[in-house]
Amino acid sequence: MRGIISFGGYVPYRRLDRSAIAAVMGRGGGRGTRSVASYDEDTTTMGVEAARLALRSSGVDPRALWFATADPAYLEKTNATAIHAALRLDSSTGALDFGGAVRSGIGALRTALESGGPTLVVAADIRGGLPTGADEANGGDGAAAFVVGGEGDGPVVAELLGTASATEEFVDRWRQPGSPSTGQWEERFGETRYGPLAAQAWKEALGAAGIGADDVDVAVVAGAHGRAVKRVSGQLGVARVADDLAGAVGNTGTAHPGLLLGNELEQAEPGQTIAVVVLADGVEVLILRTTEALAAYAPALPVADQVANGADVSYATFLQWREMIRVQPPNRPEPTRPSSSAAARAQDWKYGFVGSRGTESGTLHLPPARVSIRPEDELDAMDPAPMADVGATVVTFTIDRLVYSVSPPVVFAVVDFDGGGRLPVELTDVDPDSVRIGQRVEMTFRRLYEAEGIINYFWKARPARSSSGQ
């Protein structure tokens, strides 16, 4: 029996109130909010956050990592390797990108469900479009991760019953690399293509699973074509169609099927049948059934909790983060690109947030050191100290309005880790006025800046969202 062992959804902290768009532009927007990746997030960092949650809930050591996004941070270079490094996976674990198309997210998940070995599947997306457009308002940013495997790998909480595909070439939505917006053909055209394709794949998947539509408790239906998703949802004949999170999060594209499925699994009972129907240049269908193991499964940070705990970002800031408007930077030199060789030597520190601890003194060194600040430790008498999942408390903090930042001011805190150890570290997902001494924080993998096309990834601290930080 192969299926899903654990999962994690990631919804970034910031929300854009859609009514803010028309308030500025005179049109566009709509009701509700959409999730917004911060200026220091990209699909890779959001993928790391989702994958950390998935791994925290299972303890499985995946033998493969597959990362899918329609908004890759890098072309040419594999993005999954940064996720692999942040998760500190073994170098014998392969890391592959499923790149470019929205369909790659569900495709990676389906392929993992139909292949062998414990596999970590991560999908992330940042969705946007030109100001006042539908994609700008209706899109959302987020990530989802699944640990997929068989019984030998860990308790399967949702087993795969059947799958089906329907594929057809038609140009409905398209985007050139580097373009800020996606083109869309007349909506009616796509709608008429997706309807029959969905019917075909749905019938085939139900047949493969050996069930009827009325056996399905809930169907997750996702796709970038809103009208087609609506039409297909109505024609499946299932008891319930899953919440599409449109009102609070928006459509997270490549990540959306996984995010919605994770959200359903977090609320599901054992023995329920869940279908996933994805419309993206054809149709993909997965049919899963939750197992008894689901009863004992504890999600690390449920999607619903993340949806409920967000904070507004202004439309002006949103436009700036998306580089739709450029603002005057501080008159300070821009940061320089990190050295690839120096970064490679420091991989465990830079990507994995691993310090060192003196074997005698127990004193934590961040970054890791060979010589201890305590005399009782011998040279090189240090153990690795993985600190990414250790909570910390703000000891003191400051607001820096002078230093270069993509989104000033920089909020900086001295934090003490649970169990000992200290680091002066930048805070993120925080409003400067809300920082307090004694505040609980947790580490998060972020994109500090980009220089000469090289992205500088490292860790920041954010106000605690998950139980490890509390």
Partner 1 sequence: MASHGIKDQVAIIGMGCTQFREHWDKGVDDLLIDASSAAFASAGVAKDDVDAFWLGTASSGMSGLTLSQPLKLEGKPVTRVENFCATGSEALRQASYAVASGAYDMAMAIGVEKVKDSGYQGLNAPPAPHDGTKRNLTAAAMYSLVLPAYAARYGVDEDELRMVVAKIAEKNHRNGALNPLAQFRREMPAEKICEMASVAGRLSVFDCSGVADGSAAAIVVRAEDAHKYCDDPLYIKALSFVSGTGGGLIDPDYDYTTFPECDMAGADAYRQAGIDDPRSALAMAEVHDCFTPTEMVLMEDLGFCERGTAWKEVLAGTFERNGDMPINTDGGLKAFGHPVGASGLRMHYECWLQLRGQAGDDRQIDLSTRNLGLVHNLGGYPGEMVSFVSILGPELG
Q: Which residues bind partner 1 (CB under 8 A)?
A: 331-333, 335-339, 342-343, 345-346, 349-350, 363-367, 373, 395-405, 410, 412, 414, 416, 420-424, 426, 437, 448, 456-458
The residue among 200 and 456 lying less far from partner 1, judged by its C-beta, is: 456
Closest CA relative to residue 57, chosen from 310, 348, 389? 389
Q: Nearest approach, Cβ of 453 to partner 1 (angstroms)?
A: 14
The residue among 230 and 422 lying less far from partner 1, judged by its C-beta, is: 422
The residue among 63 and 422 lying less far from partner 1, judged by its C-beta, is: 422
The residue among 296 and 342 lying less far from partner 1, judged by its C-beta, is: 342
Closest CA relative to residue 224, chosen from 332, 128, 151, 342? 128
**Alpha carbon distance 422, 408 (integer Å):** 24
CA count, 13 A, side-chain hemisphere, 6: 26
Q: Nearest approach, Cβ of 63 to partner 1 (angstroms)?
A: 29
Q: Nearest approach, Cβ of 40 to partner 1 (angstroms)?
A: 11
The two structure tokens encoding residue 402: 């002078």
**Alpha carbon distance 67, 78 (integer Å):** 9
Closest CA relative to residue 427, chosen from 444, 412, 406? 412
The two structure tokens encoding residue 194: 């997706």
Strand order from edge to edge, sheet including 311-312: 33-36, 14-17, 311-312
Q: Nearest approach, Cβ of 346 to partner 1 (angstroms)?
A: 4
**Alpha carbon distance 56, 329 (integer Å):** 39
The residue among 196 and 367 lying less far from partner 1, judged by its C-beta, is: 367
The residue among 148 and 411 lying less far from partner 1, judged by its C-beta, is: 411
Q: Decide: 71 and 37 in contact? Cβ < 8 Å.
A: no
Helices 256-267 and 103-113 meet at what angle, rounded to 10?
Answer: 50
Q: Nearest approach, Cβ of 287 to partner 1 (angstroms)?
A: 45
C-alpha 34: how far from chain center: 15
**Alpha carbon distance 106, 69 (integer Å):** 10
- Residue whose tokens read 């956050």: 49
The residue among 141 and 426 lying less far from partner 1, judged by its C-beta, is: 426
The two structure tokens encoding residue 27: 């049109």
Q: Nearest approach, Cβ of 357 to partner 1 (angstroms)?
A: 11
Q: Decide: 424 and 392 in contact? Cβ < 8 Å.
A: no
Sign of the torsion angle spanned by Cα atoms 23, 28, 30, 35: negative
Q: Tell me the C-alpha to C-alpha distance, in Å, between residue 239 and each of 212, 231, 277.
A: 11, 16, 15
Closest CA relative to residue 236, chosen from 203, 258, 209, 204? 203
The residue among 391 and 421 lying less far from partner 1, judged by its C-beta, is: 421
Q: Nearest approach, Cβ of 454 to partner 1 (angstroms)?
A: 9
Q: Nearest approach, Cβ of 399 to partner 1 (angstroms)?
A: 6
Q: Nearest approach, Cβ of 431 to partner 1 (angstroms)?
A: 16
Q: Nearest approach, Cβ of 44 to partner 1 (angstroms)?
A: 15
**Alpha carbon distance 377, 73 (integer Å):** 41
Q: Nearest approach, Cβ of 13 to partner 1 (angstroms)?
A: 20
The residue among 189 and 404 lying less far from partner 1, judged by its C-beta, is: 404
**Backbone φ and ψ of 84, nearest 5°:** -55, -45
Give the SS3 label for residue 74: coil
**Backbone φ and ψ of 308, nearest 5°:** -75, -25
The residue among 259 and 411 lying less far from partner 1, judged by its C-beta, is: 411
Closest CA relative to residue 304, chosen from 242, 221, 374, 239? 242
The residue among 98 and 351 lying less far from partner 1, judged by its C-beta, is: 351
**Alpha carbon distance 114, 235 (integer Å):** 27
The residue among 193 and 365 lying less far from partner 1, judged by its C-beta, is: 365
Q: Nearest approach, Cβ of 333 to partner 1 (angstroms)?
A: 5
List all residues 6 or more positions away from 30 whose beta carbon is below 8 Å from its beta carbon: 18, 19, 21, 137, 138
